Amino acid sequence: METTTKEPGKLAKNMGLLGIGLCALCCALPLIGIVGGAGILATVALYAERIAIVLLIISVASFAIWQYKKKQAPPVCSMDCDCKEGAELSSNSDLKKN
């Protein structure tokens, strides 16, 4: 088994090329990250816009239903029940309790 290479400078040349490649990759990673991040952000924004439109439609419909039901609801009485029929009866029954 032979442990030496046939060309003595081949190992140094391969290590040098490997070092240059790793250095280039190290310098390129921030640029790759920026481009990849911008692409991902654009994709998320596209879907978020669609989701926001759906949520806006749902909220407008819910508000319209709430307003409709609010107008259909009977009037709310104050604490002394002046708006109910027979308010005199309830005020007389309050006097009897005291």
Q: Supply the pLDDT for residue 1.
A: 47
Strands (E), the chain: none
Q: Does residue 51 come out as left (phi exceeding 0), alpha (psi in the -120 to 50 range) or beta?
A: alpha
Q: Are 89 and 96 in contact (CB under 8 A)?
A: no
Q: Supply the pLDDT for residue 86.
A: 54
Q: Which long-range contacts (CB under 8 A, 24 or more apart) does 41-50 make?
A: none
Q: Supply the pLDDT for residue 79.
A: 67
Q: Supply the pLDDT for residue 81.
A: 62
Q: Supply the pLDDT for residue 28.
A: 92
Q: How far apart are CA 87 and CA 81, in angstroms?
A: 6
10-residue stretch averages of pLDDT, the chain, 98 residues long = 65 92 92 92 90 95 93 70 55 52
Q: Supply the pLDDT for residue 74.
A: 73
Q: Give the three-class secondary structure for 26.
A: helix
- The verdict on pTM exceeding 0.75 is no
Q: Supply the pLDDT for residue 9.
A: 82
Q: How far apart are CA 69 and CA 88, in angstroms?
A: 30
